[in-house]
Amino acid sequence: MTAPIAQPRPGIARIALFGAGDFACNLYWQAITLYLLIFYIDTLKLPPATAAAIYMVGAIWDGLADLLVGALTEHRQWRYRRLVAFGATPLGLAFAALYALPALTGGAIAVTLGTHVVFRTFYALVNVPYASWSVRISAASRDRTLVAGFRMGFGALAAFFVALGTPWLANKLGGAGGGLVNIAALLAMIGTPLLLLVAYLTPEIISEHHQQERISPRVAIATLFRNRAFVSLNAATACAALAAAVVGHSVLFYFRHTLNAAGAGSEALAAMGIAALIAIPGWTWGATRIGTRASWFVAGGIGLIVLALGAMLIGSSPLAAQIFLFALQIALAGFSVLGWAMLPDTVEYGEAHYGVRVEAMAFACAALVQKLALAFAALLIGLGYDWIGYSNNGPQTALARDGIAWIMFALPAIAIGASLAAMLTSPLRRGTHRHDLAIIAARNDAS
């Protein structure tokens, strides 16, 4: 059989520099994941269902924008690094406006929704090319696992920075509401130059392996729907993303209202960031030893066990809840690393089995699926909080306090179970990717 396609192997320094781009992206992403919904509800005083609806519309548009950016990039064959360089500055400005303009207008719904949609548009313009770029760092699964590890590691570092630094800086820079506005500007001042640095200093390797005639969005989407590896992975990652989003959105509400320990909630988020930083190298190493698919089941088993134990501790001490969340984040970090490590391999699986290479659209559709899951998570929380009688203007009832807890525990458990069921259908066993590369090489040699 023909040997797999040769491609220059990147060094650790190049992989680390590229991975640093996720620090910038996650400064923005973690800020909206951890603090935007509570900013809408508790600072702008929007009703929970209204806030959740705005967040859901923004998340859905984000996914659709991902799809549009992916389709145009795939069809026009635009260079990924140029798009990242072009979008970095407007993305930073849009992120600062996401908090500043609604605060200035007293939470006017049109302004709040508009700034949310504008930010999500520029985030898609930067994040889809950046994520797709990982396919062109290396064709080797081991290198791609390292790329995913560095990306998720820098992402976890950003999560730690945002979770721990935001409450402290908010108090220093103007209190909870005004402080978040100033923090958004500060994060934009960090993220923008970092993305520009990655764009200008990281090469984008274009080989014959990546060259093909332009394909239409219709052909690209049809190919992805036929790609069993792609479909099963996205089903699994969507469920895992929903679980992580429900937990992330619930933490501050749980500590503030169920445990009456608001300060400990920010500490819990920081601890979760530390857990991810500790766990990501382990998941990266484990995936190179037993494979990404097998590692997924390990992560799911850990997550379900931790959730079951945590449910027994509902309403106990803040320290016990922090320990529970630390342990749960170890599993959730595994899903992040493994999902992004496996996604580039689905590109070659599709090319080997169906003869069409789909890169940017694959990452765009994956982002769309995950963001739909995040939107659904926000909707479930908003509707759930309305149903349990959550009040943003006074103390919570016993039903509301217990409901916040059970939403945080039960929904993620169901989602993780569904994720494991989806991964059972994945064809990406150990050795599958190398076999796919050999098929592609043989086809290219014959043409």
Structure confidence by residue, pLDDT tens digits, 353-370: 888 888 888 888 888 888
Residue 417 confidence (pLDDT) above 90: yes
Residue spans of the domains in the chain: they are: 12-205+214-446
Q: Find the helix or strand (DSSP H, E) in which 4 lies.
A: none
Question: What is the reported pLDDT for 227?
Answer: 95
What's the pLDDT tens digit per position in 93-104?
999 999 888 877
Judge whether residue 331 has pLDDT over 70: yes
Chain segment 369-409, per-residue pLDDT in tens: 887 888 788 888 888 888 888 877 667 788 888 888 888 88
The structure's pTM equals: 0.75
Please classify residue 253 by burial: count the beta carbons closer than 10 Å to its beta carbon, then call 0-12 exposed, 13-18 middle and 19+ buried.
buried
Residue 348 identity (one-letter amino acid):
E
What span, in angstroms and rounded, lies between the C-alpha atoms of 94 and 342?
A: 31
Number of Cβ atoms within 10 Å of the Cβ of 446 = 7
CB 125 within 8 A of CB 87: yes
Say if residue 3's pLDDT is above 70. no
Question: What mean pLDDT is reported for the chain?
Answer: 85
The 10 Å Cβ neighbour count of residue 287 is 27
Structural fold of domain 12-205+214-446:
Growth Hormone; Chain: A; (1.20.1250)
Beta-carbon contacts of residue 228 (< 8 Å; ≥ 6 apart): 349, 425, 426, 427
3-state secondary structure 351-369: HHHHCCCCCHHHHHHHHHH
| CA angle, 414 then 416 then 422, to 5° | 105
Q: Which residue has the higher pLDDT, 393 or 330?
A: 330
Higher-pLDDT residue of 234 and 60 is: 234
Q: For the chain, how far is it from start to end, CA to CA, in angstroms?
A: 15
